[in-house]
Amino acid sequence: MNDPVLEYAFEIRVDIAPHLRIGRSADEELTFTPIAGGTVAGPLLNGVVLAGGGDWSVERSRTSQLEARYLLQADDGAVIDILNRGYYRASDEVIARVEAGENVPEEEYYFRTAPVFQTDAAAHRWLAEHQFIGLARDEDGQICIRIFVVR
């Protein structure tokens, strides 16, 4: 049996608005972060992140479970839906550094996603037919996600 091979596909750089606190219980906190735009660039896809959609986050036991849904528009005009689920976990020290605007190296915290794409555009149908892994980081006020296709 072969090990999976990851191929770098593109990077999504998402502009975000301030998060909105929805609620808190004894064990968790729910927030929403609106998506304001962004870019997509790489060897397999280029385009923009359309404003709208957002990221719902539930924090439990110092780990945030994330679910983001938004739209990409490829350079050829095709619209691509993305549902990106994942996990974020960091120490208090790293969180403070990120909140202070420091670009903390992604290996200092856990921020991983598993995006799923939908589109009927023939040129981008491969996105809806493969599994992907995302390695994310907070950089210069954007959420940056390097997307790898599992081959």
Secondary structure of residue 97 in the 3-state scheme: helix
Q: What is the pTM of this model?
A: 0.93
Q: What is the CATH number of the domain that holds 72?
A: 2.40.160.20
H helix intervals, the chain: 92-99
Number of residues assigned to the chain: 151
CA distances to 55, 129, 135, 140 from 132, rounded to whole Å, are: 18, 10, 10, 24
Report the distance separating Cα 103 and Cα 29, nearest Å: 25
| Residue 29 domain flag | yes
Residue 141: count other Cβ atoms within 10 Å of its Cβ: 9
52 in a domain, yes or no? yes
Q: State residue 142's pLDDT score.
A: 94
The string of pLDDT tens digits covering residues 53-93 is 999 999 998 899 999 999 999 999 999 999 999 999 999 99
Look at residue 1 and tell me if it is in a domain: no
How many structural domains are present in the chain? 1
